[in-house]
Amino acid sequence: MIIGDMIISSLEFPGNVSLVIFTGGCILKCPYCHNPEIIDGGKSVEMDEIIKKIDNSMEFIDSVVITGGEPLIQNEEVKNILRYAKSRGLKTKLDTNGFFVHELEEVMDLLDYVALDIKAPFGKYKEIIGSSIDNEVRKSMESCIKADVYLECRTTFVPYLMEIEDIVEIAKNIDANIYYTLQQFRDKKVLDKKLYGTPIPSRDELKEIAEMIKPFLKHIKIKTAEFGDEIIK
């Protein structure tokens, strides 16, 4: 399997300590990608090494999170990891950009939690990130809603690429049975160097946008480097 890294974190699965596996490879090249070093791959590891890492971490973890890159490029390997994690009594979470609808549906019964990136309003993906995957993302969202899985939708607000009205449009057209998370853009590590120096949205700015979209969504969070996850009530 091609991965970027494996770490233990208390941030990726709220309320749980997780072994987080960063898979290598992604079909997208989002300008603001914060893991650009693994877009084109990573290091090759045997599945036995990943299984051993799960076993050796059991004393500390109660969940496994698979993120990327885009994990579902390596669907069979992801399936094997999730199946093993479940056999050890661990909770499971998958982060995905939503392109691989069929592959997501294939692993849905092995998941407790899906974090789905909503990168732009449906209809503006090509304009904002350069790839027209709107229909697939919508289908992935609908599949998660139908399944017995917790769904978090999340958007990174990048002022250079988006307007506040784009976030409002997203909020009007999505559903998430846990939270819609509005994430703070950071310019410390991005794919498109033109984004360096882009104004970083403040906590107060994100809270203001969150208040604007409350009429459309029941559960909203903002996420900043300074304060982490904050529920907007």
CATH number of the domain at 158, please. Answer: 3.20.20.70
Strands (E), the chain: 2-9, 18-23, 43-44, 63-67, 91-96, 113-117, 150-157, 180-184, 220-224, 228-232
Q: Which of 189, 192, 210 is nearest to 201 (CA)?
A: 210
Owner of token pair 């299984």:
51
| C-alpha to C-alpha distance for 199 and 223, rounded to whole angstroms | 16
Q: What is the pLDDT of residue 69?
A: 93
Q: What is the pLDDT of residue 143?
A: 96
Which domain, by its residues, includes 215? 2-232
Tally of domains within the chain: 1
> From first to last of its 233 residues, what are the pLDDT tens digits of the chain?
999 999 999 999 999 999 999 999 999 999 999 999 999 989 999 999 999 999 999 999 999 999 999 999 999 999 999 999 999 999 999 999 999 999 999 999 999 999 999 999 999 999 999 999 999 999 999 999 999 899 999 999 999 899 999 999 999 999 888 899 999 999 999 999 999 999 999 999 999 999 999 999 989 999 999 999 999 98
Q: What is the pLDDT of residue 175?
A: 86
Q: What is the pLDDT of residue 54?
A: 98
Q: What is the pLDDT of residues 31-89, one digit of tens each?
A: 999 999 999 989 999 999 999 999 999 999 999 999 999 999 999 999 999 999 999 99
